[in-house]
Amino acid sequence: MRFINYLSIIIIAALALPTFVSAGISIHEYTQAIEESPKDMKYKFYLLRGKAYKDSGKMDPALKDLNTSIKLYPNRTAYIYRGELFFETERYAEAINDFTTAIDINPTIELYKQRGESYLNTANYVLALADGLNIIDMAPHNAESYYVSIEALENLGDIKLARELAFKVTSFDRGNKKANGIITKYPLKFVFIGENPFTLYISQEDNVTKDKANEIFLMYKRGEKIDANLKNKLDECSTIGKQMIGYLARLKETWDDYFEEVKSLQVRSIKAHDVLRAKYQKQSTAIEHKIEIWEGKSKKCTDELVQVFWGNK
């Protein structure tokens, strides 16, 4: 009778994986359950005891139990726990294998995150980026979803894309420290001021020009009477601003297409990724050249606008 009552309690715990792992059941009790349970249930108790060992920092017996659980019955939970053990002991290649097996059974955000972080720790930034983009797809409004991709892009040298994702994070989490850290580390050289369709594009560092240009813009927007020369120059600068918006939108679309192709093709080698990135880099370089031209025109027009403004002050 003791066997039946005792075993029924432990079986309930096993069926409730992983809730009961830390519910006060001791390693000794799991050992008893292994000895007394039916053959087809033993893998569960090896799994539970392995998790208990891992949580108590006893990695060697934990690994032995998780290996036994998988040998008796390959199961997703055991692969996850063993992957976490490998990650915690810095055996990242083995962690990647286990997380991949678990993802193949049922992909989740947490698994992509764990595998992505493992790729980052092995300097495999291409595959980390692929996992990072999957995370973003699954939870686009969660700031943490962007962390793997941002770190991968930064290490790949794609600073513009890393910064773009950081700006995306701050659009719904303004105070996010990680995103703001990237933006601060790699500041934009230029910023927009004003509103469409009358957008001026000026140097971020030129605060005096920025303030005066904003003042002019507000006068123009409110329909206040201004000098004809001032209005003409403002029209010219606004046209330049719209051109800048168009080219920047094209640049964003180019790299959005790149992200989509990385995900759809599931690029799994550095060589293949380099070919893909070179393709989009060529396209973006041509657009960036146009942007540089219009940046010069924008700065010149803004300087002239300020001079006209002061001349009519």
Q: Amino acid identity, residue 110?
A: E
According to the model, what pLDDT value does residue 223 have?
75
Integer Cα distance of 288 and 82 in angstroms: 47
Instruction: Number of helices (H) and strands (E) in the chain: give both, helices first.
Output: 14, 2
The residues that bridge with 193 in the sheet, in sequence order, are 200
Q: Same domain, yes or no, for 127 and 260?
A: no
According to the model, what pLDDT value does residue 195 have?
44
According to the model, what pLDDT value does residue 98 have?
97
According to the model, what pLDDT value does residue 310 have?
59
Q: Same domain, yes or no, for 206 and 84?
A: no
- What contacts 24+ positions apart, CB below 8 Å, involve 25-30? 25/52, 26/52, 27/52, 27/53, 27/56
Find the CATH number of the domain harbouring 25: 1.25.40.10
C-alpha dist (Å) from residue 167 to 82, 218, 247: 36, 26, 18
Q: Same domain, yes or no, for 26 and 151?
A: yes
The structural domain count of the chain equals: 2
According to the model, what pLDDT value does residue 90 have?
96
Q: Which of 87, 77, 23 is nearest to 50 (CA)?
A: 77
Q: Same domain, yes or no, for 205 and 150?
A: no
- What contacts 24+ positions apart, CB below 8 Å, involve 43-48? 43/68, 43/69, 43/70, 43/72, 43/73, 43/75, 43/78, 44/14, 44/15, 44/17, 44/69, 45/10, 45/14, 46/72, 47/17, 47/75, 47/77, 47/78, 47/81, 48/13, 48/14, 48/17, 48/20, 48/21
Residue 281 lies in a domain: yes
Q: Same domain, yes or no, for 116 and 240?
A: no
Phi, psi of 17 (to 5 degrees): -50, 140
Residue 172 lies in a domain: no
pTM: 0.63
Domain end call among 138, 158, 178: 158
Residue 89 lies in a domain: yes
Residue 169 lies in a domain: no
pLDDT tens sequence across 238-260? 788 778 778 888 887 887 787 77
C-alpha dist (Å) from residue 74 to 12, 67, 101, 237: 20, 9, 10, 66
DSSP state of 64: H
According to the model, what pLDDT value does residue 306 have?
64
Q: Same domain, yes or no, for 141 and 206?
A: no
Asked whether 130 and 99 are in contact (CB, 8 A), the reply is: no
Q: Same domain, yes or no, for 199 and 302?
A: yes
In which residue ranges of the chain is pLDDT below 70? 1-25, 187-217, 226, 263-271, 305-306, 309-313
Q: Taking the CB of residue 22, how many other CB atoms lie within 10 A of it?
A: 10
Q: Amino acid identity, residue 112?
A: Y
Residue 242 lies in a domain: yes
Residue 178 lies in a domain: no
Name the residue range of residue 20's domain: 2-158
Domain end call among 106, 134, 158: 158
Q: Same domain, yes or no, for 152 and 9?
A: yes
According to the model, what pLDDT value does residue 21 have?
45
According to the model, what pLDDT value does residue 5 have?
43
Integer Cα distance of 50 and 73 in angstroms: 14
Q: Same domain, yes or no, for 154 and 13?
A: yes
Q: Same domain, yes or no, for 195 and 84?
A: no
Q: Same domain, yes or no, for 124 and 253?
A: no
DSSP state of 107: -
User: Please, what's the largest Cα pairwise distance for the chain?
Assistant: 101
Residue 297 lies in a domain: yes
Q: How many residues are listed for the chain in this entry?
A: 313
Q: Same domain, yes or no, for 151 and 201?
A: no
Domain end call among 158, 179, 212: 158
Residue 117 lies in a domain: yes
